[in-house]
Amino acid sequence: MKKLTLLAALLIATIVTAQTEKPKDSTEVKFKELQQNSAERILSGNIKNGVTVGGYGEITYNQPETGNGEFDVQRLVLLFGYKFNEKVQFITEVEFEHVKEVYVEQAFLQYSFNDKISARGGLMLVPMGLINEYHEPTTFNSVERPSIDKSIVPTTWREIGAGVYGRFDNLSLKYQAYIFNGFSSVSSSGKYLGGKNGLRNGRQKGAQSNFVYPNFSAKVDYYGIQGLRLGLAGYFGRTQPDEDDKDLDGADVGVAMVGLDARYRLGRFAARGELISTSIADSEAYNDLYGADLGSQMYGYNLEASFNVLPSEKKMELWGFTRYESYDTNSKMAGGVDRNLSYERDEWTFGLSFLVAQGAVLKADYQIKNNAVSDAEPDNQFNMGIGVSF
């Protein structure tokens, strides 16, 4: 409670500071400008037909308080779009992680009937939370992605499916609705769901994905207030059991995930936050079958306030920020199994994000990480990074 009170006080103080100067038109950012990720920029390009290229990348340095530091070309991503005509476009995103790993992160075909509705099919991002769809390093302040967007929402979360996408500008609403193939009950490398990473091991990523049950995903965003975006998302279905196990009790579990998120910017002040709650059905039978420690309930939330310390007329921006996160991948356990308190975690992140140009950022921050184990030592860490997006 003290942490939340402190953060709330910080938010209020920053808002008061921001309100003292009248926002200029040049600093007011509309929804479309705030919310376009790399794929959306390509889709909304004004070329009649042909190829469009984009990309983003991150180079990071992580130094824990104990142990060696690590330099990493964390990811380098190339995006390619092809516009066949004014209605049909294809988007693909190829990612190189840690120099040596290669993934296809998106690959979908879109047919646009009009601004209100488009049909999509292929490998797509699941619309959930603040980061999964907007994970380019220039769209968030910290060096590393927020932790709840790794452990609760398993970013980058993408699966194969089909659905519709569009917006109603008269209502200030954007919507998405898809049918996906869903998580695997056991990963291709034999890893189970649960532990500190929640559902992360179940991501199939479009690689020879196992399919038994369809899963439903949808999100609605409201952008009727200048500088503000509110999102409500849901994901419902079951995991995909292995062929050899599909008739066994506990071979698959039900997943119900609901997320709320908000972003706001007024002049040189910005704030954001998200809340994600996940319920798992039949986790007791799953744990009995596989000897896993999958929780029946997971949750996470974060709150962040930031302020651009440079004058509004400057092209460069220097954002100081503070973020608090709390998340637990086994906040409830079925069948009387004891919770693992090390999975109940909270983090403070303090740092600077220097936008040297639109699409190029230098970052530095310090993280204080704790868990609910009574005698656990804080897992603190200093981070630096370079990010680009174009």
Cβ 357 vs Cβ 315: under 8 Å: yes
**pLDDT at position 37:** 85
Q: Which residues pair with 335 in a beta bridge?
A: none
pLDDT for the residue 35: 60
Residue type, 184: S
pLDDT computed for residue 134 by the predictor: 95
Q: Show Cβ contacts of residue 227 under 8 Å, excluding neighbours closer than 6 positions.
A: 28, 29, 30, 34, 264, 265, 266
- Predicted model pTM: 0.89
CB-based contact 241:286 (threshold 8 Å): no
pLDDT of 97 reads 96
Pick the CATH number of 2-54+76-315 from 2.40.160, 2.40.50, 3.10.20, 1.10.287: 2.40.160
Per-residue pLDDT 10s for the chain (390 aa) are 444 444 444 444 444 444 444 443 333 344 444 467 888 888 887 777 899 999 999 999 999 998 999 999 999 999 999 999 999 999 999 999 999 999 999 999 999 999 899 999 999 999 999 999 999 999 999 999 999 999 999 999 999 999 999 999 999 999 999 999 999 999 989 999 999 999 999 999 999 999 999 999 999 999 999 999 999 999 999 999 999 999 999 999 999 999 999 999 999 999 999 999 999 999 999 999 999 999 999 999 999 999 999 999 999 999 999 999 999 999 999 988 899 999 999 999 999 999 999 999 999 999 999 999 988 787 899 999 999 999
Q: How far apart are CA 92 and CA 108, in angstroms?
A: 7
Domain boundaries, the chain: 2-54+76-315
**Considering only CA atoms, which of 70, 55, 56 is closest in space to residue 384?**
70
